Amino acid sequence: MGNSILTGELQEKVTNLSPLKSNTTLNNEDIMRYSRQLLLPELGVKGQVALSNISVLVVGCGGLGCPLAQYLAAAGIGRLGLLDYDVVELSNLHRQVLHTELTQGQPKALSAAQAISRLNSSVHCVPYHLQLSRENAIQLIQHSASFEKQLLMFDGQEGRFRSIRLRPKQAECAVCGETPTVTELQDYEQFCGSAATDKCRRLNLLTKEQRVSVQEYKAIIDSSSPHLLLDVRPKVEVDICHLPTSILFVVCKLGNDSQKAVQLLEKMSGQEIEQITVKDVTGGLMAWAKKIDPSFPQY
């Protein structure tokens, strides 16, 4: 196809791609593969040829990106960019259908590209093991299909797409007006006030004196010291796993919500409740599983 990189070769940075080789006809194998959809008047041969000349970038190879990439590839898209900064984990497999037990630990983009290649080897897959940012966004989408002046919406409840034409430029618009104030891509994380990741962040709200390690808490249990462990997770998480005394040390999954609970209880101590000493278990139940009891469930 005249491309500068091999299909499925993992990219750690954005790479300039050669234009797709323009197709004007379908060969016999194409006709057989896509024969059922070629019968649709809305698609036909002309539409199928057009699909083979289109590039699409899928940002995120997770629960939504996997089926999207799978159906695009099955339909006969020309080039498929697959971008994800994460690696495959066991907890992904129940919903991220392109990944398998054998690809655990692999970059998700690579795992997805390999699955796509097994499904339709004629699709040129470009897996990117990186995070979408203001620095790389423009270069990434330059070879993808453009919806300029249109807004494509998908209604999950109704199960339908809508394509909305955007109004013409407005003179006072901050982006496209006569004197725009927004002249470059914005920093998504700065704009939203949070990291562009589904990984849990670690909070550090308390002093060392207000916390105990899982090893220290294990020693308290072993010595049968009288205490109360307060588990501040929702009941649905407590039902997954809990410590034997989980019914004043405070615990949660990662040691984030428990720190907030310690601060709240300390404010109440001596006023709304009796005078108490409260400590958080650093790292929460997941630290317990890693450092104390490997058989304890992780989620």
pLDDT in tens, 13-41: 887 888 888 999 999 999 999 999 999 99
Q: What pLDDT sits at residue 147?
A: 63
Residue 60's nearest CA partner among 100, 92, 91 is 92
Q: Residues with Cβ < 8 Å from 277, sequence gap 6 or more?
A: 248
Q: Is the pTM of this model over 0.85?
A: no
Question: What whole-number distance in Å separates Cα of residue 269 and Cα of residue 284?
Answer: 22
173-223 residue pLDDT tens: 888 888 888 888 888 777 777 777 767 677 788 898 889 899 999 998 888
In this structure, which long-range contacts are made by residues 191-198, counting pairs with CB atoms below 8 Å and at least 24 apart in sequence?
A: 196/131, 196/132, 197/85, 197/131
pLDDT the model gives residue 72:
96
Please report the pLDDT score of residue 273 as a whole number.
Answer: 64
Class in CATH terms, 28-170: alpha beta
CATH 3.40.250.10 domain locations along the chain: 208-291
For the chain, where do the domains classified as CATH 3.40.50.720 start and end? 28-170
Q: Scan for tokens 């940002």, then name that residue.
A: 59
Rounded (5°) CA angle 33-36-38: 85
- Give the pLDDT of the chain (299 residues) as one tens digit per residue: 333 445 668 888 887 888 888 999 999 999 999 999 999 999 999 999 999 999 999 999 999 999 999 999 999 999 999 999 999 999 999 999 999 999 999 999 999 999 999 999 999 999 999 998 888 888 888 766 666 667 778 787 888 888 887 778 888 888 888 888 888 888 877 777 777 776 767 778 889 888 989 999 999 888 878 787 888 888 788 788 877 654 478 899 999 999 999 999 888 877 766 667 788 999 999 999 999 999 999 88
CATH topology of domain 208-291: Oxidized Rhodanese; domain 1 (3.40.250)
* Encoded tokens for 107: 């970059």
Helix-helix angle 65-75:108-119, to 10 degrees: 30
- Show the CA angle centred on residue 190, arms to residues 184 and 192, nearest 5°: 105
